[in-house]
Amino acid sequence: MDKMIVSGGRALRGEVRVSGAKNSALPILFSTILAEGAHKFTNLPNLKDIESTAELLASLGCICSRDGDIFSVTNKGINNFEAHYDLVRKMRASILCLGPLLARYGEAVVSMPGGCAIGSRPIDLHLDSMKALGAEIELREGYVMAKAKRLKGARILFESVTVGGTENLMMAATLAEGKTLIENAAKEPEIVDLAEYLISMGAKISGHGSSIIEIDGVEKLRAAEHRIIPDRIEAGTLLIAAAITHGDVTIQDCRPDHLEALLLKLKECGFQMQIGKTDIHIASQKTWKAVDITTAPFPLFPTDLQAQYMALMTAAEGTSVISETVFENRFMHVQELIRLGADISPKTRVAVVRGVKPGGLTGAPVMATDLRASACLVLAGLAAHGDTLINRIYHLDRGYEKLETKLSHLGGKINRVS
């Protein structure tokens, strides 16, 4: 079981390049089920979740391979329509094979993903939208058994914003008969990136990035090529790593327009930043103000940066209130931060963070519980006085490509130990 030792107290300095977006790559990889041929992707990050997706696609009959920066998925026709529990339990985003399998082959047997540390993670909105397109859905022995002669376009209003639900429905609708209207659609940049890839495959989609997406079904799609957008959550994580260590860092190959909510909050905290088209420079800052956040769907403050921002607030001047409105249990990192000396009072979906004086955080052994919580503990470790040992660091490898290499390159002292 890999651990990570982070030695705090060193200001990060220099330039760092952001990798491709995990949460764009995953749905785009599943969209290859929709069309036979050789799909080619660049800027696709090398992550555990990508490996899990490649394993699942291989179990369905697609071959994945990486040659330098080109990641290929060769779909010679799917010969198995079952996404097995052993594969799905490793990565709950596997539910994203449901829409493509139903649309292209008329059947899918997908293990229900189950919950995770941050919440129950139901898939009712995914299943309701497949039913609205005419699919028969039965839940049996932990599996979603789905069938459809040919999906028919429909108007679907999501009662709450769902990124995965929007992605599953959008993929399914590309081959459905007639028009599909998705209302209250998610607007995340990853939705836009997926739509752009589907369009390059021949899909007819408009309105992506807004809350109303229109899809006109077509008979057939073809394999295409695509460059994955930069990972806005990695970019935000690296920016906060610079901020919390009083660093002076330039984040390169990112999309500042995908990070507006975080940039506004960091400015409110008092950080000085120069923002270009594809890079962000943050200047060293001795102290920063405590500023409240409330997480919500894009373009508001992303839930995937809540834990990292909380680490920053533990060393801020004053008290901040952090509200988590997207997931019901996304404060698993709070008790671990308290072990490092943070002063936090967590309630169900709100945490009050009282900033400790500079040097108030001291290194200690802590436990990573989920992907973004582990990133939060790395950031807190970089700011803490002394060494922080982070257990269960495999969570980090699911969503960050060589994070310790990037942070070490910036002067951070961070090592992986078995």
Residues with catalytic function = 116
Judged by CB under 6 A, the residue of 37, 61, 106, 119 near ligand EPZ is 119
Cβ(226)–Cβ(190) under 8 Å? no
In the Cβ-directed half-sphere of 306, how many Cα atoms lie within 13 Å? Answer: 30
Closest to ligand EPZ by CB, 75 vs 162, is 162
- Residue corresponding to tokens 């997926």: 194
141-149, 157-165, 192-200, 235-243 -> range binding ligand EPZ (CB under 6 A): 157-165
Among 372, 373, 395, 407, binds ligand EPZ (CB under 6 A): 372
Total site size for ligand EPZ, rule CB under 6 A: 22
- Cα(188)–Cα(181) distance, integer angstroms: 17
Q: What is d(CA 229, CA 407) in angstroms, rounded to the nearest whole number? A: 21
**Residue 391 binds to ligand EPZ (criterion: CB under 6 A):** no
Count Cβ atoms below 10 Å from residue 348 Cβ, excluding itself.
9
Q: Which stretch binds ligand EPZ (CB under 6 A): 10-18, 123-131, 252-260, 312-320?
A: 123-131
Q: Which of residues 220-239 bind ligand EPZ (CB under 6 A)?
A: none
Q: Which is nearer to ligand EPZ, 21 or 35 (CB)?
A: 21
Collapsing DSSP to helix, strand or coil, 383 comes out as helix
Residue closer to ligand EPZ (CB basis): 246 or 265: 265
Give the nearest distance from C-beta 396 to ligand EPZ in angstroms: 11
Site string for ligand EPZ, 159-198 (x = CB under 6 A): -x-xxxx---------------------------------
Give strand pairing partners of 246: none
Nearest CB to ligand EPZ, comparing residues 246 and 398: 398
Q: Quickly tell me which residue has 């200001």 as its tokens.
A: 11
| Nearer to ligand EPZ among residue 162 and residue 391 (C-beta) | 162
Which residues between 14 and 53 bind ligand EPZ (CB under 6 A)?
23, 26
> Closest Cα to residue 167, out of 84, 115, 100?
100
Q: Tell me if 83 sits within 8 A of 97, measured CB to CB.
A: yes
122 binds ligand EPZ (CB under 6 A): yes
Shortest distance, position 110 Cβ to ligand EPZ, whole Å: 13
> Of 302, 294, 45, 333, whose CA–CA distance to 163 is shortest?
302
Q: Are 385 and 361 in contact (CB under 8 A)?
A: yes
Using CB under 6 A, pick the residue from 35, 83, 93, 307 that binds ligand EPZ. 93
Site for ligand EPZ (CB under 6 A): which residue of 39, 48, 104, 126?
126
Choices 122-130, 242-250, 277-285, 311-319 (CB under 6 A): range interacting with ligand EPZ: 122-130
Site membership for ligand EPZ, residue 158 (CB under 6 A) = no
- Pick from 368, 338, 366: nearest CA to 354: 338
Any bridge partners for residue 397, and if so which? Answer: none
Q: Using the rule CB under 6 A, is 399 a contact of ligand EPZ?
A: yes
Give backbone dihedrals phi and psi of 51, rounded to 5 degrees, phi first.
-60, -45
Q: Name the residue nearer to ligand EPZ (CB basis): 5 or 93.
A: 93
Which position among 327, 337, 393, 400 is part of the footprint of ligand EPZ (CB under 6 A)?
Answer: 327
Q: Is residue 336 close enough to count as binding ligand EPZ by CB under 6 A?
A: no
User: Which of 44, 83, 293, 326 is the binder for ligand EPZ (CB under 6 A)?
Assistant: 326
Question: CB-hemisphere CA count at 13 Å for 302?
Answer: 24
Query: For residues 382 and 314, is the Cβ–Cβ distance under 8 A?
Result: no
User: DSSP string of 130-176?
Assistant: HHHTT-EEEEETTEEEEE-SS-B--EEE-SS--HHHHHHHHHHHTTS
Instruction: Please give the Cα distance from 29 to 26 (Å, whole number).
Output: 5
Q: Would you count residue 349 as binding ligand EPZ (CB under 6 A)?
A: no
**How large is the C-alpha radius of gyration of the chain?**
21
Q: Which residue lies nearer to ligand EPZ by CB, 128 or 343?
A: 128
The rounded Cα 378 to chain-centroid distance in angstroms is 18
Question: Which residues of this chain interact with ligand EPZ, rule CB under 6 A?
Answer: 23, 26, 93, 119, 121-126, 160, 162-165, 303-304, 326-327, 371-372, 399
